[in-house]
């Protein structure tokens, strides 16, 4: 795992494709990594993906695929032909689902990274116990990370608070870390969060930041500030 330098991914959690296009104009490649989630994908589809990739961005399509192995692998097939930098699937789908997704990607000759979702940053405390009664979140996280590495995934997506627990485990995997806030007190709909510098210091390969950049009057300046924070701890 090349984890020497932490990079910044901008989460384009915007309501419309036109809003995403306007934002990309304002971002002006301040960072080459951008993420599109289910809403923008549903509204913009392949045309928006193609346009973003053709602008030169490294596009992270965060669909969190989770189904039986054949269904997920069949979805990966057309997606890995779209020039994506990365795609997410759920590690909780199991080894075969992950391994067949990797095999499909390799069969198509794609360089697309496949990242495994471990535990959502919104799940913690009572919410975790509600859907996983009797299961320890830490042990589940470790097991999913190890399973992802064995299946051949390129990285995992985890909370910044999980980085210390995963230190030394699944060392071949990149760590993609959402739940980044400008201050620790700001959580919004995520419960397990940290600042950019805290995540970078804990071993994040990539941090994912949305609202602080999307809502900034000058997104380029905000990107620079975050990258400066990261550089101070590396």
Which pair of structure tokens corresponds to residue 79? 């997606």
173, 166 in Cβ contact below 8 A?
no
Q: Please name the residue that has the structure tokens 């994506």.
A: 84
3-state secondary structure of 99: helix
Residue 93 neighbours by CB distance under 10 Å: 23
| Contact call for residues 84 and 60 (beta carbons, < 8 A) | yes
Vertex 48 angle, CA 10 and 84, to 5°: 65
Residue with tokens 């990274």: 113
Report the catalytic residues.
64
Calpha distance 119→140 (Å, rounded):
8
Helix (H, G, I), strand (E, B) or coil at 62: strand
| Pairwise CA distance, residues 78 & 100, whole Å | 14
């Amino acid at each position: 795992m090349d984890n020497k330098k932490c990079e910044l991914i901008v989460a384009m959690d915007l309501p419309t494709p036109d809003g995403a296009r306007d934002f990309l104009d304002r971002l002006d490649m301040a960072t080459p990594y951008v993420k599109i989630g289910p809403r923008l994908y549903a509204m913009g589809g392949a045309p928006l993906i193609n346009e973003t990739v053709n602008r030169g961005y490294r596009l992270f399509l965060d669909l969190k695929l989770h189904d039986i192995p054949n269904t997920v692998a069949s979805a990966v097939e057309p997606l890995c032909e779209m020039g994506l930098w990365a795609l997410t699937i759920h590690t909780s789908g199991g080894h075969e689902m992950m391994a067949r997704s990797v095999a499909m990607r390799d069969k198509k000759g794609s360089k697309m990274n496949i990242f495994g979702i471990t535990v959502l940053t919104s799940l913690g405390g009572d919410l975790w116990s509600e859907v996983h009664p009797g299961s320890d979140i830490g042990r589940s996280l470790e097991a999913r990370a190890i399973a992802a590495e064995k299946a051949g995934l390129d990285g995992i997506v985890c909370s910044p608070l999980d980085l210390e627990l995963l230190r030394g485990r699944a060392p071949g995997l990149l760590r993609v870390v959402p739940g980044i806030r400008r201050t620790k007190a700001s959580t919004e709909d995520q419960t397990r969060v940290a600042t950019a510098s805290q995540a970078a210091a804990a071993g994040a390969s990539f941090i994912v930041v949305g609202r602080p950049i999307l809502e900034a009057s000058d997104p380029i300046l905000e990107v620079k500030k975050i990258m400066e924070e990261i550089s101070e701890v590396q």
